[in-house]
Structure 1
Amino acid sequence: MLNLPIRPRRNRRTAAIRDLVRETELTPSHLIYPLFVHAGSEEQPIESMPGCTRWTVDGLLKEAAEAHALGVPAVVLFPAISDRLKTRDASEAWNAKGLVPRAIRALKKDLPTLTVITDVALDPYNADGHDGLVSDDGRILNDETVEALCKQALCHADAGADIVSPSDMMDGRVAALRSALDAADYADVGILSYTAKYASACYGPFRGALDSAPKFGDKKTYQMDYGNAREAEREAALDEAEGADMLMVKPATLYLDIIHRLRTRTTLPIAAYHVSGEYLMIKAASASGWLDEKKMVLETLTGIRRAGADMILTYFAKDVAKWHAQKQ
């Protein structure tokens, strides 16, 4: 054997060579665009999330169409609900004439090739601000909440949703949703389960966008403890056995190890949610001039893909799609 120097740098010598040997790609086809919608007549800039907007239904159609034309295949909807519609039983969540069903129908009519994903959880509709129904003594009720979530998912499926995405973290909800959808002849509607959703400090800006912060306590009795990793494997095994089509880790950048753990233990597609706090950190640091926003976004999202995510929910989806188009 010749005693020759090893030169890994030869594979980095030019941009063309680096492209040839690149292991991880980030393209618009890997992205899901979260969009906020409200029932008002004017768009509302979101103070807690610079660059994001609460769209009217008409504005939502325009924004989704622009992103889809750039190659983004899917959107996920989050409703800002009027306080007068928030109740302790969260019944507006399954109102067939409500905001989300109207938005779904409009999107599927105007953009039939766009995949429409809906959030299934009660916090936008719940007077208590929790993802589940609350007992008189302040407990989050698991089984009663699951029954409500099934009504909500069926409402979304009736309107034309392609995928429902339970973010509540109640036990047994994936099996219940799959059973309810199948029984109603919605066997083709997919379930993207928030499998490992951690009780994170990164959700504050999102709760500001929807005014959905809990009115008492916190969400630690149902969202996961950020010190736990094995528990995520248990949740993933349960969701897969219950019929989930895709699994999600949330947040993303602080939980790359969780994404990687699940990637090595399941053949299901894995999504990662680059959440509002992670978005705002990049926005704030870039606004100060200390970081280059485009470079930080591309490096961050590529890192999430490298950890094992097949798809990423990110508020930067449209920006990334624009940058990708300019590169072609």
Structure 2
Amino acid sequence: MNTEQAQQQVQLLTIDDDHAGQRIDNFLLTTLKGVPKSMIYRIVRKGEVRVNKKRIKPEYKLQMDDIVRVPPVRVAERDERKAPSAGLHRVSQLKDRIVYEDKFLIVLNKPAGIAVHGGSGVDYGVIEALRVLYPEQKFLELVHRLDKDTSGVLLIAKKRSALKHMHDQLRFKKMQKDYQALVRGAWQSHEKVIKAPLLKITLKSGERIVRVNKEGKPSETRFKILQRYDGCTLVQASPVTGRTHQIRVHCQYAGHPIACDDKYSEQKFDDSMRVLGLNRLFLHAAQLKFIHPDTDEYMTVQAPLDENLQQLLTKLKRV
């Protein structure tokens, strides 16, 4: 399939917790990178964009589990993009990182440094790469997301029914996500739950970050100490809500930023970790517990720490 053909497909996007409350026009501006604002308002006004099969106005606020129909859009800027080749090393290595697969789901141990989807200057991400690797698969959609620099368990649905089933679990908090993070300093034993509202803001530079702010969305993360080291702690972080950068900002808020977090960490601590060989954010989605969308079986899937993270831990002094 060439790039022009790829742009001629209708997309059906299910709204998750992180996009609920966002205006449809703003959602489309971020989803359709490179598409002029005038064109976005035109396709909304003409009824080509639909929510739950109904016409909407540009100021419509998205709700959890809304299904948004995004029409095919031709834009010269987008046509210049190259679809990922199945022969590319970065794309082909994803096949080796699949930890579980059946007719309904793919569970991937996502490598750090690759986005889950294209956009914001990124030509392609995990989902685009998987569509190249699975050309016969008519339906492939992300169940949830991970930050570009975060590694670990990522769920991809192979059927629309599976996607809806998994989104229902996320909505009703029936899915448990357990991350591992190496943070600065000695995490306090009594610090087991952090509830701090999170607000997305855009800096003058255009960079988007998240801050603890009373005007933000309610957010909760549960923490457990896995291992203490000299000058740092390996913790398990289990987010109850699913906000952007939630674990990273909650760790910073607690006074224990995650190692080599380019947005929220501390230079001196990061430098000490880089000397030991760490060259990426130490945040890894280690485990996911969920109900299988077909069998209703309670499943636990795990992704081992990448070798470079394991090697770093062997260099640290346990206390």
Higher relative contact order (CA 8 A, sep 6+): 1
Q: TM-score, normalised by structure 1?
A: 0.28
Higher percent of residues as helix: 1
Q: TM-score, normalised by structure 2?
A: 0.28
